[in-house]
Amino acid sequence: MADEHHPHDDQHGSELSEMQLRVRALETILTEKGYVDPAALDQLIENAETRIGPHIGARVVARAWSAPEFKRRLLEDATEAVNALAGFDPVAAHLIAVENTPQVHNIVVCTLCSCYPWSVLGLPPVWYKSASYRSRAVIDPKGVLSEFGVKLPPDTQIRVWDSTAETRFLVVPMRPQGTEGWSEEDLARLVTRDSMVGTGLAKSPGEIG
Ligand code: FE
């Protein structure tokens, strides 16, 4: 593997961090035992670094905002709807889409470790894996949301979804006002990663200029 670059592991120079050493050791053992094919592993990593990212999720959300039939399919079976739209790399784990409404705001966490819908959002941000987010998202979701700068009406119900290795969640944020008639491409520019985790809202037209 030529380049192991992770946003949270941004080190220069030749010395390997402890994490990199552990990853390499594990990879060597798995390869030698024949559990993984190095080429398949490289493909997975390349996908994670280049093809997979929040732009996939943003496309999914923009389509859901513009096409009611797609939104219905997405909320019914997100795994099937996303795989059909993306056209590659089927979502491995069961994906569930949850929709924000004026009454309900959804937020996603993995209390146990760091399960994340990486097939639609790419690699998880560092805060998602932090012990503080993982515990506080459940105990005090309102407090967490306000730290992320999310202001919701006081009577909004907040639903917290706990991800597992088998089930991942994608939040469909509310479509911003003033976007009537926008193309899917323009709509997708409003959909941030955080808005699909529930720690943010979609941008308003004024925010993208
Ligand atoms: Fe996890």
Tokens representing 56 are 């996939």
Q: What is the 124 CA–ligand 1 centroid distance (Å)?
A: 11
130 as an active site residue: the answer is no
Catalytic residue among 14, 17, 66, 115: 115
Q: What is the 107 CA–ligand 1 centroid distance (Å)?
A: 15
Do residues 100 and 22 both lie within one domain?
no
User: Quick check: is 5 in a domain?
Assistant: no
User: Quick check: is 6 in a domain?
Assistant: no
Do residues 112 and 154 both lie within one domain?
yes
Do residues 116 and 59 both lie within one domain?
yes
Domain containing 36 equals 16-49
Q: What is the 83 CA–ligand 1 centroid distance (Å)?
A: 22
146 as an active site residue: the answer is no
115 as an active site residue: the answer is yes
Catalytic residue among 110, 119, 163, 195: 110
User: Quick check: is 159 in a domain?
Assistant: yes
**Residue 53 gets which letter from DSSP?**
S
User: Quick check: is 9 in a domain?
Assistant: no
14 as an active site residue: the answer is no
Do residues 34 and 123 both lie within one domain?
no
Q: What is the 137 CA–ligand 1 centroid distance (Å)?
A: 14
pLDDT of residue 18: 78
Give the residue ranges of DSSP H helices in the chain: 18-32, 38-46, 54-66, 68-76, 78-86, 118-121, 126-129, 131-139, 141-147, 184-188, 193-197, 205-208
Q: HSE on the CB side for 58, CA within 13 Å?
A: 20
User: Quick check: is 85 in a domain?
Assistant: yes
User: Quick check: is 121 in a domain?
Assistant: yes
Do residues 25 and 66 both lie within one domain?
no
Relative orientation angle of helices 78-86 and 68-76, to the nearest 10 degrees: 130
Q: What is the 148 CA–ligand 1 centroid distance (Å)?
A: 21
Catalytic residue among 14, 17, 66, 114: 114
Do residues 30 and 75 both lie within one domain?
no
Do residues 35 and 69 both lie within one domain?
no
> Total structural domains in the chain?
2
Angle at 98 between CA 92 and CA 101, to 5 degrees: 160
Please answer whether residues 160 and 48 qualify as being in contact, where contact means their C-beta atoms are separated by less than 8 angstroms: no
User: Quick check: is 164 in a domain?
Assistant: yes
- Written as tens digits, the pLDDT of the chain (209 aa) is 444 444 444 444 567 777 778 888 888 888 888 887 878 877 777 776 677 789 999 999 999 999 999 999 999 999 999 988 877 555 667 899 999 999 999 999 999 988 999 889 988 999 999 999 999 999 999 999 999 999 999 999 999 999 988 899 999 999 999 999 999 999 999 999 999 999 999 999 999 87
Do residues 80 and 162 both lie within one domain?
yes
Catalytic residue among 14, 17, 66, 113: 113
Do residues 108 and 37 both lie within one domain?
no
pTM of the entire structure?
A: 0.79
Q: What is the 75 CA–ligand 1 centroid distance (Å)?
A: 22
Q: What is the 160 CA–ligand 1 centroid distance (Å)?
A: 15
Do residues 98 and 183 both lie within one domain?
yes
Do residues 43 and 69 both lie within one domain?
no
CATH number at residue 194: 3.90.330.10
User: Quick check: is 197 in a domain?
Assistant: yes
28, 49, 70 — which closes off a domain? 49
Do residues 97 and 192 both lie within one domain?
yes
